[in-house]
Amino acid sequence: MKLGVCYYPEHWPETIWAEDARRMVDMGLSKVRIGEFAWSRIEPSRGEFDWGWLDKAVETLAVQGLEITMGTPTATPPKWLIDAHPDILAIDAAGAPRGFGSRRHYCFSSQTYLKESRRITESLAARYGTHRAITSWQTDNEFGCHDTVESYSENARLAFRLWLEDKYKTIDALNTAWGTVFWSMEYRRFGEIDLPNQTVTEANPAHRLDFQRFSSGQVIRYHKAQAEIIRRHASKADITHNVMGHFNAFDHYILGRNVDILTWDSYPLGFLDQAWWKEADKQRWMRSGHPDFAAFHHDLYRGCNQRWGVMEQQPGPVNWAPHNPAPRAGMAALWALEAAAHGAEYCSYFRWRQAPFAQEQNHAGLLYPNSEIAQGGVDAAAAGDILSQIDLSQQTTHQAPIALIYDYESKWLFDIQPQGAAWHYEKLCFMFYTVLRRMGFNIDIISPDAPLTGYKLVAAPSLPILPETFLNRASKAGAHVLLGPRSQSKTRDYQLMPRPNSLEAVLNITIPRSESLRESVKIPINMGLSAAHACIWRDLVETASDNTAVIARCTDDYPAFISQGGLSYLAVWPDKGLIKSVLTHVLNTCGLPQLWLPKDLRVRQFGGLKFAFNYGSKIIHLSQLYPGADYIYRTDKLGPANAAIWR
Ligand code: GAL
């Protein structure tokens, strides 16, 4: 795995570029990303290009042997362009334009902007496409950041109508699929259909789901328009896009198929502070990030494209979370090693030097604004040092024994009609993941349509639209399937799944209704050694009292966990005790022995090497868990923010 950094030469005097480049190399960095927000410097006015500075910056970095990723600057259309074409601006759900003065203010459906994006991409790619040092290209920057996938513009409305017509062919088919007879919502022509915003109460869920699918497709279409141009000019370079963590508004599996390498931006402390964890967990891991959060995304994005990397790695405190603590010294090195253990091709820090001006002046860099080295720089150098001591070149990621299904459509579907305020698709998937990781496993995260061959266990925490072939494919692959609550509850058209569905047929049960619960309600379940409860959600399963497939029941007798042959079904949202017991049961069925790691320790097998990571503040001794390990980096005594590696 290579290390890199994101650099903004346009923010600094030319006189310091050469020194910056030398110091990058000294720090052990070999990759550098530039350009992704520099439109106003590349083309200060329409058609007046200033390539001089960028030529020089590229050459300065190239002379030091750095590999460059060139970003297209389309996340930041400049003022002159917006003033000439206000139709570029995205429109929010309340109908207001999203103004100039920050970034990402464009609408994915704007034809003008698509044309302008092609034009700037063409100019940039024509100039640098064959440059010896530019080994990869990044389209735009973080599609959808700041809630920008959906736009309620006139352009979006017209494009959505065409998309619907292409999908349904006839208006009758759409009316049937959406159930528009309800509340007299019937349409006579595709041209009558508006976007699902500004309705009095909830818009039709099928309408909303289709709009989300459409909006996701617009992002991919926009990316492809740039990729096609870059490919023409830079046939040997890799094309990537840097996606985010915690972000679901477009289908990342589809984007993954349209890049050579998928990269993502990892900010472990920012994500922890922002997301759903309990106060005690936020405090416990405030300087390390949640031990599974980056790992979850490494595994997810490897499931989108086998080639993947980290384009932006947090180096120190960020500026955008509600609270922005400093990472523990060494953490930014550990995060890089965790990425290496998951098979990343590179890990690149954001950013080289902290900018003393504008929106991100409180965001750390590897250097302070005065060019003195910051803790992030110390950690990056340490990561480089460790990577130079261990030889990872012979190692590759093997298929994990366990696949976790993560599905973007499921997430959209539940967001549209949660049917219970506490229902949270991402959180449920993460709960499965974190328990499996504490049990010591490598996990692959894959889409419901991915091949299942080679897996012993395929776990779908919830899969409301169960692909027709799913159970068959799993059974052919010899994989045990674990489905969570609400699985197979809906059709692709966002209607209730007709019963009996295949889950009911195989397990000899019926699921006539479900209920959602207040978060404080916990219904006890008899299973395993630890206390187990159903909370948040129950599918209320009915079955004969002598159905031997029922493994555990709630105290009011409703089955909670059912398992027979190659299929297990968890009918309720589990608390930690229940999910542990359920996973233990299915893993034993699959013949997969488990560990139970200390709360702050995580391990990952990478080829023939095992990596261990300490996310806590105290020393962890590895010898009890892994006696006789043949260490190639560090030993049994693992300090805070330390990693150890053994054969
Ligand atoms: C990312 C973004 C960067 C920078 C960074 C700050 O989301 O791609 O441009 O804003 O966050 O943490």
What DSSP string describes 183-236? GG---SSGGG---S-S-SS---HHHHHHHHHHHHHHHHHHHHHHHHHHHHH-TT
Residue among 142, 319, 353, 361 whose CB has most ligand 1 atoms within 8 A, to mutate? 142
According to DSSP, the residues that pair with 91 across neighbouring strands are: 97
Closest to 512 in 3D by CA, of 525, 523, 524, 496: 496
143 C-alpha vs ligand 1 centroid, how far in Å? Answer: 12
Closest atom of ligand 1 relative to the 242 alpha carbon: 8
- 480-483 vs 457-460, strand pairing mode: parallel
Buried b (16+ CB within 10 A) or exposed e, 222-248: bbeebbebbbebbeebbbbbbbbbebb
pLDDT at 231 over 70: yes
**Does residue 604 contact residue 442 with C-beta atoms inside 8 Å?**
yes
The gap from C-alpha 535 to its chain's centroid, in whole angstroms, comes to: 26
3-state SS string over 163-187? HHHHHHCCHHHHHHHHCCCHHHCCC
CA of residue 220 to ligand 1 center, whole Å: 21
Helices 171-178 and 205-233, axial angle in degrees (round to 10): 120
Pairing of strands 631-633, 643-646: antiparallel
Question: Are 524 and 552 a contacting pair, CB within 8 Å?
Answer: no
Residue 86 pairs with which residues in a beta bridge?
Answer: none
CB atoms within 10 A of CB 10: 16
Q: According to the model, what pLDDT value does residue 530 have?
A: 73
**pLDDT tens digits, residue range 81-95?**
999 999 999 999 999
Number of H-type helices and E-type strands within the chain: 19, 25
Q: Tens digits of per-residue pLDDT, 500-530?
A: 999 999 999 999 999 999 999 999 998 866 7
Distance of CA 200 to the CA centre of its chain: 33
Q: Is the pLDDT of residue 31 over 80?
A: yes
Give the span between the Cα atoms of 61 and 54, in whole angstroms: 11
Q: How far is the CA of 168 from the centre of ligand 1 (A)?
A: 39
Structure-token match 């106060």, residue found: 279
Residue range 242-275, pLDDT digits in tens: 999 999 999 999 999 999 999 999 999 999 999 9
Q: Which of 140, 242, 265, 352 to mutate to test the pocket of ligand 1 (most atoms within 8 A of CB)?
A: 265
What proportion of the chain, given as a percentage, has pLDDT over 90?
98
CB atoms within 10 A of CB 202: 10
Q: Which pLDDT belongs to residue 529?
A: 64
- Indicate if the alpha-carbon torsion angle 105, 107, 111, 116 is positive or negative: positive
What is the CA(499)–ligand 1 centre distance, in A? 47
Q: Are 50 and 84 in contact (CB under 8 A)?
A: no
Nearest to 258, CA basis, from 250, 268, 267, 248: 250
Mean pLDDT of 343-350: 98
What is the sign of the dihedral through the CA atoms of 567, 571, 572 and 573? Answer: positive
Domains of the chain: 1-235 (3.20.20.80), 402-589 (3.40.50.880), 601-646 (2.60.40.1180)
Residue 142 CA, ligand 1 centroid: distance in Å: 8
Q: How far is CA 210 from CA 106, 158, 217, 252, 535, in A?
A: 21, 14, 10, 17, 31
Q: Residue 36 corresponds to which tokens in the numbers above?
A: 């992704």
Query: What's the gap in Å between 267 CA and the centre of ligand 1?
Result: 9
**Which residues 6+ apart lie within 8 Å of 535 measured at CB?**
422, 517, 519, 521, 522, 523, 572, 573, 574, 575
pLDDT over 70 percentage in the chain? 100
Q: How far is the CA of 141 from the centre of ligand 1 (A)?
A: 9
Give dist(CA 267, CA 246) in Å, integer: 10
User: If you take atom 2 of ligand 1, which residue's CA is the nearest one?
Assistant: 142
pLDDT digits (tens, 9 = 90+) for 430-475: 999 999 999 999 999 999 999 999 999 999 999 999 999 999 999 9
Query: pLDDT at residue 226 above 70?
Result: yes
- CA 471, CA 459: separation in Å to the nearest integer? 12
CA distance linking residue 638 with residue 288, whole number of Å: 15
pLDDT (mean) for 418-439? 98
- With cut-offs at 50, 70 and 90, classify the pLDDT of residue 585: very high
Q: What is the mean pLDDT of the chain?
A: 97
> Which residues make Cβ contacts (< 8 Å) with residue 467, sequence separation at least 6?
448, 449
List the structure tokens of 460. Answer: 């779908």
Q: Percent helix, strand, coil in the chain (nearest 5)?
A: 35, 20, 45
Ligand 1 neighbours, Cβ below 6 Å, are 141-142, 145, 265, 267, 312, 318, 320, 350, 360, 363
pLDDT score for 323: 98
Determine the Cα–Cα distance for residues 349 and 346; give it in Å rounded to an integer.
10
Cα-Cα-Cα-Cα dihedral of 272, 278, 282, 283, to 10°? 180
Q: Which residues are catalytic?
A: 142, 312
